[in-house]
Amino acid sequence: MLSFNLLVVVALAYVLLLFLVAFMAERRAAEGEDGWLRSPMIYTLSISIYCTAWTFYGAVGYAARSGFEFVTIYLGPTLVMVGWWWILRRLVRIGKTQRITSIADLISSRFGKSTQLGMIVTIMAVIATTPYIALQLQSVTLSFAVFADSDGSSWSLGDLNATAIWVAIGLAVFTIVFGTRNLDANERHHGIVIAVAVEAVVKLVALLAVGIFVVWGLAGGPSEMLAQIEASELSTWNQDGGRWITLIFLSAAAFLCLPRMFQVLVVENADERHLHVASWAFPLYLMAMSLFVLPIAVVGLDLLPESANPDLFVLTLPLSQGQNGLAIFSFLGGFSSATSMVIVSTIALATMVSNHIVVPIWLSSGGNEGAMQSGDVRRVIVISRRLSIAGILALGYLYYRLSGGGTALAAIGLVSFSGAVQVLPVMLGGIFWRGATRVGAALGLVTGLIVWGWTLFLPSIGENAVLSAAVLLEGPCGIAWLRPQALFGIEGLDPLIHGIFWSMLFNSAMFFLCSVMSFPLPLERLQGAQFVDVFAHSAQSRTWTRGTADAEDLLIMSQRILGSTQAQSVFQAAAMDQGKEGYLPDVTPDFVERLERELSGSVGAATAHAMIGQLTQGSNVSVEDLIAVADEAAQILEYSNQLEAKSAEQERTARALREANAKLTEVSEQKDAFLSQISHELRTPMTSIRSFSEILRETEIGPKDRSKYAGIIHNEAIRLTRLLDDLLDLSVLENGQVELHQQSGSLSELIERAIDASGVSKKELRIIRVNAEEDVPLHTDLDRLAQVFINLITNAAKYCDVEEPELRISVQAIGGGHVVDFVDNGAGIPRSKQAMIFEKFTRVSDQSTAGGAGLGLAICREVMSRLGGGITYLPGQGGAAFRVTLPAPQALAAQ
């Protein structure tokens, strides 16, 4: 006899192996060597979680009870894989482009990222999956019990429950360890996928081994086996066509809709092309899985006592024949089927519960402001996911305890399937029909859930458990047409067909009608376009460079939302901040964030985020779609704000015009003032010249006066010439046409030269040199620099009106360069004039006696700017003070 303890040791060793495999896979993936993890075969094997303990043990039981009907459970997925793989391809593509994390996320995303829809689908999934998890716990527990029985130690109910809870805890630990390691947007779990693939191989080989043993070991060969099947009553049973079609539909739909299937098919998919391999390999796997189901059932019925549970033939047949090794292997197969399903289902559900129920509630609870800032969100999500895993397994255990573990496995499976497929109309509608709306989806789902609950789920728990036998027979409160298994008086149908027919009919009808009657939100429309036209869009999107958006595209979109003027000003301001001219800034993260804030003011944060996200992530939406949405949003805005917007637009236009006008006026006034100034400066000396020349011509005057008047004419002619020279000089400098003659020299010498050239006598102005000995080498246009110095010296001589005028010229090293300060001991320049003195024709004293035209400092400023230095007024020095900053000595350093 087989030792039960040995079985426990083998099971534990097997679990340990799975941990190891998962751990290695995670390690390899983390090291980037995940090529082999992404092979199409691994993908195909992971899909085999479709085959749960229900398939492993239950299919034989199903065959023993209903003959060939069990095949329908394999035919559905085969049809999907062979005939409808394009639906899968579409789902996978959408899942990748939209970073879908679960089926709830798919539905929620499709219908405008609706939180409510995500919750509805999650709740449905939890309700539909919990019995299924319970079923797996039950099957593992029962299989343990079989060995305990055969060991001679018959189990009490307490032993069974203890086993179930340990199995549940073990699964929770495994799932938490490998299911919440990372929070990748893609939610892929290499370790778990590999473990599931290993388990897929184990369960297939185990079932094949039992089958081979049965056919060749017990029946005596294939032909004898066939004869035995022919003879058994299983092959003669009449098959109900309606039930077959319903079951095929059900299993096909469940294959697409079950949360765990969505997890492995879409979320864990590494490469769309893996579907090609899976489309033939997975049907082969299913065929292999189903190959020996009937033989095992037939032989089991034949060899085992009447009382034996056909659901456990896979185990009990080898045991009864003394094939302990084979029995243990078979046990591991069943164990694998159960655990892989529970692990993946739990991950899928935990992701959904965490993302669509826990986190939204946490976010809206308000106690998260600090966390939102500090990045604790991640921690919260991990914790919520771990708690969800534990919670879901606890629910499964609870259901197992409540249901008493008595119901036939296959029946629970079918009810569970039919609950999960309530998502089908909304899912297919969502990915093929642009017209589907959030309202329609929500009402369809809820209706389907209610009808399913009433007609299938509640009755399945058992008579008098929730619904009394009276309600089942006569309807609630005696309302006959509401009888759970004969809605609207339609009797005589198989309860499963009945329930599926009505739930799917009401579900689809509500979904369709309410979608037609309601209008999608802009974001729904946007998402709808992406989901339905996912291939068109992802092909188009390749014209965008990855991860960047075209500034022009963003501008076009923003104009639709904000209006041209405002959008342009936002873009222009951003461009200016980046030091660019025009309206197209670089698309930096800062700018995108800023734009998103601008847009969310108009269309709401979610929409703005979606729109920007689509453009900046360069993913899969066409500009046309965005513009359609933008137009729509703009229309809505316009509708409510039309008058306001119009007056605001007019106000903006008027302001722009006023500004332009003011600018033009200012320019024109400046031009007038300039011409007027020049006129004055030219006419004044001309007046003297003309006047005195006439005097000299007309009048007999003494030689002394004659000489004096001729001198005036001469001086005024020189003044005029100098003025014209200055004007020309300034004009050349301002236009940047000046030619600089770079020379090397010494600052000290240049200052001496300027003092000499200024022609200022010591009596007029005492010049004091400070730090003259600290010489600075120069390499610049020395003549131009001297011109500036001369100007400053003559200005001091002209305007410093104290008894003993002094000018201190000091050289200092400041900030890596040198400055020359010219400070006199006069009255200085009044604060109000300081800002003006470098402008043309500005004279501090208004005294034309000094002979300046007010161009000197303007020229100095232009010269210094051409030389790469500067000149500023230095306030607070007592007298007038000018600081000349010498050009930076790069030229010198370069030599």
Partner 1 sequence: MGKRVLLIEDEPNIIEAISFILSRDGFTVHTHEDGETAMEKVRATPPDMIILDVMLPGRSGFDILRDLRADPITAGLPVLMLTARGQTKDRDLAERLGADHFMTKPFSNSEVRDHVRAVLEA
**For binding to partner 1 (CB under 8 A), which residues are involved?**
676, 679-692, 694-695, 698-699, 712, 716, 845-849
Cα-to-chain-centroid distance, residue 115: 17
Report the residue number, 382 or 682, with the smaller CB distance to partner 1: 682
128: nearest Cα among 433, 442, 424, 488: 424
The minimum distance between CB 710 and partner 1, in angstroms, equals 12
The minimum distance between CB 684 and partner 1, in angstroms, equals 5
Q: Which helix (H) or strand (E) holds 881?
A: strand 881-885
Report the residue number, 628 or 695, with the smaller CB distance to partner 1: 695
274: nearest Cα among 137, 92, 429, 101: 92
The minimum distance between CB 840 and partner 1, in angstroms, equals 16
Sole residue written with tokens 């490469």: 271
The minimum distance between CB 661 and partner 1, in angstroms, equals 20
The minimum distance between CB 709 and partner 1, in angstroms, equals 8
CA distance 859 to 41: 82
Sign of CA dihedral 515, 517, 518, 524: positive
The minimum distance between CB 790 and partner 1, in angstroms, equals 25
Tell me the longest C-alpha to C-alpha distance in the chain: 160
CA distance 385 to 684: 91
194: nearest Cα among 350, 18, 337, 339: 18
Report the residue number, 352 or 689, with the smaller CB distance to partner 1: 689
Report the residue number, 540 or 848, with the smaller CB distance to partner 1: 848
The minimum distance between CB 696 and partner 1, in angstroms, equals 11
Report the residue number, 663 or 683, with the smaller CB distance to partner 1: 683
Cα-based torsion angle of the residue sequence 617, 619, 621, 624 in order, rounded to the nearest 10 degrees: 60
The minimum distance between CB 842 and partner 1, in angstroms, equals 14
Q: Where are the alpha helices (DSSP H) in 31-114?
A: 40-47, 53, 59-66, 71-83, 85-97, 103-110
Q: Are 28 and 39 in contact (CB under 8 A)?
A: no
Strand partners, 778: 745
Report the residue number, 655 or 683, with the smaller CB distance to partner 1: 683
Q: Are 367 and 287 in contact (CB under 8 A)?
A: no
Q: Identify the burial level of 306 via C-beta atoms within 10 angstroms of its C-beta, where 0-12 means exposed, 13-18 middle and 19 or more buried.
A: exposed
Report the residue number, 487 or 853, with the smaller CB distance to partner 1: 853
Structure tokens at 229: 């099947």
The minimum distance between CB 669 and partner 1, in angstroms, equals 12
The minimum distance between CB 704 and partner 1, in angstroms, equals 13
The minimum distance between CB 686 and partner 1, in angstroms, equals 5
46: nearest Cα among 242, 224, 285: 285
Contacts of 13 (CB under 8 A, 6+ apart): none
Report the residue number, 365 or 849, with the smaller CB distance to partner 1: 849
The minimum distance between CB 685 and partner 1, in angstroms, equals 8
Report the residue number, 7 or 689, with the smaller CB distance to partner 1: 689
Report the residue number, 675 or 813, with the smaller CB distance to partner 1: 675
Strand partners, 766: 806
Report the residue number, 27 or 680, with the smaller CB distance to partner 1: 680
Report the residue number, 341 or 853, with the smaller CB distance to partner 1: 853
- The percent of the chain in helix, strand and coil, each rounded to the nearest 5, is 75, 5, 20
Q: Are 54 and 409 in contact (CB under 8 A)?
A: yes
Report the residue number, 3 or 676, with the smaller CB distance to partner 1: 676
The minimum distance between CB 675 and partner 1, in angstroms, equals 8
CA distance 804 to 801: 8
Report the residue number, 313 or 709, with the smaller CB distance to partner 1: 709
Cα-to-chain-centroid distance, residue 765: 74
Judged by DSSP in three states, 222 sits in: helix
The minimum distance between CB 846 and partner 1, in angstroms, equals 4
Q: Which helix (H) or strand (E) holds 346?
A: helix 324-353
Alpha-carbon Rg for the chain, nearest whole angstrom, is 46
DSSP letters of 41-54? HHHHHHHGGGS-HI
Contacts of 776 (CB under 8 A, 6+ apart): 746, 747, 748, 811, 818, 886
